Structure 1
Amino acid sequence: MRRVEQAAQAADRLRHLRQSISETRQQLEELRQREQVIISELDALRPWSRARRRELAAELPEVRRNQTRRHEHLLQVLDQSTGVEQIARRAAEQAPAPVTWPLVRRHHADLGRDFDAAHRGARSSDVTEAARRAEEARAAWAGLQQKLAAARDEAARRADLPPDQRDIERAALVEHA
């Protein structure tokens, strides 16, 4: 899934880069056309059209500055595109075929849902199991408390016995064991 996502991201970045190149080239072409229109109009203007000449003369440097900026941007994007193409190519080589990407994504999503369901089931089972074990532990603890009380009671009674009866008691315990 990681390889599929890396390949998809690289392809998406390459597509955006190519789109940017195309848009920048289109903008450059529009700026060149505008420059040609301005130059043609300046050449065709009559001497008495000074106001229009000033407007066009002021617009021409701005168009040329925009052309320069767009051209520099295009060069930067073209420089980046080589590296991005290589990254996209490597990522595509390491990933499964693009036609299988939806299947890989669906399988990954199914595994995620299965894992989440198993995790919820385990958590629920743990809660149920923990409650049962706690009840068993409480019952065992109560039984052990009763045995401890009986053993203390027995020890207290034996301590109160006269020495000859203690000997008889010990002999009976040994014989019983």
Structure 2
Amino acid sequence: MVRALLAVSLLLLPSVAFAGGSQNAQPRVVAPFGAPRVLAANSPVKPGQTWILGGTTASGQKISREIVLGPQAPTWNVDGWAFESEIDILGYHPVDNTLYVTDLSGMVTGDYMTLCMGFLEAGIGRGALLTGSVDEMRSQLAQLDNFPDPKSASEALATMRAAGLNVGTCTLTLKK
């Protein structure tokens, strides 16, 4: 799951950077057989919302960023729904109840990138925070190859730490 999330995020970057943005939120889904074709009306994540990414990196640095989702409908991929934002991607998988956000602004500025991978618990995403360059992220995530996918935020943190990753903590909260 974790490796796939980063790969999907990096693959989606061109669509984030070059998407024109539609005024009408129409589904743009190429769904495999059995996959949802439209976002459920009761989904906790919807186009146009603003989420607050907060956290503490492994080195103790505090981060905070608003993730403003675009008005366009999300696309479905193997890791769930992918919502586009300025240069961020927020993903939500309704079955696994996972939530992730990639702050890819570091690819533009030459700074580090941020990846928060968590689980939606009582309306708040809680999970693990990775930071670094693309190469550092790939290297860190490759260390997870022999570990099972976590089922909760605490399990994700424990798994990543057991794999030797420098991981912090993060939250994703819907702005009211």
What range describes the TM-score normalised by the shorter chain of this pair?
A: under 0.3
Q: Give the greater-gyration-radius structure (CA).
A: 1
TM-score computed with the length of structure 1 as normaliser: 0.20
TM-score (norm 2): 0.20
Normalized per residue, the structure richer in strand is 2
Higher RCO (CA 8 Å, separation ≥ 6 residues): 1
Structure having the larger proportion of residues in helix: 1
